[in-house]
Amino acid sequence: MGKQKIQEAFAEVETRGEKAFIPYIMAGDGGFGKLKEELLFFENAGATVVELGIPFSDPVADGPTIQKAGQRALEQGTTLELVLKHVKEIRKEVKIPIVLMTYLNPVFAYGIPRFAEDCKAAGVDGCIIPDLPFEEEQIISGHLAKSELALIRLVTLTSSKDRIAKLAESAEGFLYAVTITGITGARDSFSQEVTAYLKQVKELSPIPVLAGFGISTPEHVTAAIQACDGVIVGSRIIDLIEKNDLDAIKELIHASKKSGITLS
């Protein structure tokens, strides 16, 4: 299904007049025995897509919480090959779209053509590669396209309007709008600058725009979805999973359902 499955998930959200919610979890954190359980929880709780992190030793975009989760996963012996193997095993039961978040180095080490083929075989629907420059993405984009996988592009607060327009023009699945200048982690509130930025990205993008980085409370979710099509929550999700506070995760997801504004 690949990118089509992501499109269908967003279409369902739009039909319900809601906004999208994408949780981030680290593959292998706590062992692979938890993976199916976590994915089914998010599926049943109303998440739109799950972003599944691949642990890496030098995660340049990740804040302390996600770095620690990655380190725990690496200590458990987690590899890209093992992640794909386990995703494939649970795919018959888990229906929610899955997008891998990985850095370029593990993909190079794995072999780009093999990576794309194995992602498709495992039932992965798309990839986020934050250290892949737009100008160099042809090294992998063709292989992902052949396997019907969405390559999720990122834009940032420091991206020019022209660059945002270029990225949006070729974007697939959804456009990831980074809402802080720096690494992942919690924030206190949304500024007018961030709201204006999200609205600008939304105006330029033909596909859904999701805000990510630093979103950690229902209030953040409510604020972000006034200016875009949904949110991605990572560090806070990992914290809450560690605490086994599933009710707080449900509150975050529920906040994305209360906008009363349809996607457009």
DSSP for 44-112? HHT-S-EEEEPP-SS-TT--HHHHHHHHHHHHTT--HHHHHHHHHHHTTT--S-EEEE--HHHHHHH-H
Counting every residue, how long is the chain?
Answer: 264
> Which fold does the domain 3-255 belong to in CATH?
TIM Barrel (3.20.20)
The torsion of the CA quartet 27, 32, 37, 43, rounded to 10 degrees, works out to 30
pLDDT at 261 over 50: no
The pLDDT-based confidence of 184 (bands split at 50, 70, 90) is: low
Task: Give the active site residues.
Answer: 51, 62
Give the helix/strand (H/E) hosting 133. Answer: none
Given a contact cutoff of 8 angstroms between Cβ atoms, the answer to whether 21 and 251 are in contact is no
pLDDT for 28-63, tens place per residue? 999 999 999 999 999 999 999 999 999 998 777 778
pLDDT for 210-221, tens place per residue? 999 989 999 999
Question: Which backbone phi and psi does 40 adopt, to 5 degrees?
Answer: -65, -35
Reading across the β-sheet that carries 175-178, which strands appear in turn? Answer: 150-152, 126-128, 98-101, 50-53, 20-26, 230-233, 209-212, 175-178, 154-155
Helix and strand totals (H; E) in the chain: 12, 9
Residues pairing with 154 in the sheet? 176
* CA distances, 54 to each of 27, 74, 188 (Å): 6, 9, 28
Query: Nearest CA to 120 among 91, 93, 161, 96?
Result: 91
* CA distances, 94 to each of 35, 38, 53, 205 (Å): 10, 10, 17, 30
What pLDDT is stored for residue 132 in this prediction? 95
Ranges of each domain in the chain? 3-255
What pLDDT is stored for residue 85 in this prediction? 98
pLDDT at 185 over 70: no
pLDDT at 17 over 60: yes
What pLDDT is stored for residue 264 in this prediction? 38
pLDDT for 209-256, tens place per residue? 999 998 999 999 999 999 999 999 999 999 999 999 999 999 999 999
Residues pairing with 50 in the sheet? 98
pLDDT for 88-117, tens place per residue? 999 999 999 999 999 999 999 999 999 999
**pTM to 2 decimals?**
0.94
What pLDDT is stored for residue 182 in this prediction? 60
Report, as an integer, the average pLDDT of 169-189.
78
pLDDT at 196 over 70: yes
The pLDDT-based confidence of 183 (bands split at 50, 70, 90) is: low
What does DSSP say about strands 154-155 and 50-53: parallel, antiparallel, or unpaired?
unpaired
* Residue 15 CB partners (closer than 8 Å, separation 6+): none
- Looking at per-residue confidence, does 11 or 64 come out higher? 11
Given a contact cutoff of 8 angstroms between Cβ atoms, the answer to whether 23 and 233 are in contact is yes
Q: Which amino acid is at 10?
A: F
pLDDT at 259 over 70: no
pLDDT at 180 over 50: yes
The torsion of the CA quartet 60, 63, 66, 68, rounded to 10 degrees, works out to 90
pLDDT at 7 over 80: yes
C-alpha 116/C-alpha 120 separation (Å) is 6
Report, as an integer, the average pLDDT of 125-141.
96
What pLDDT is stored for residue 262 in this prediction? 41
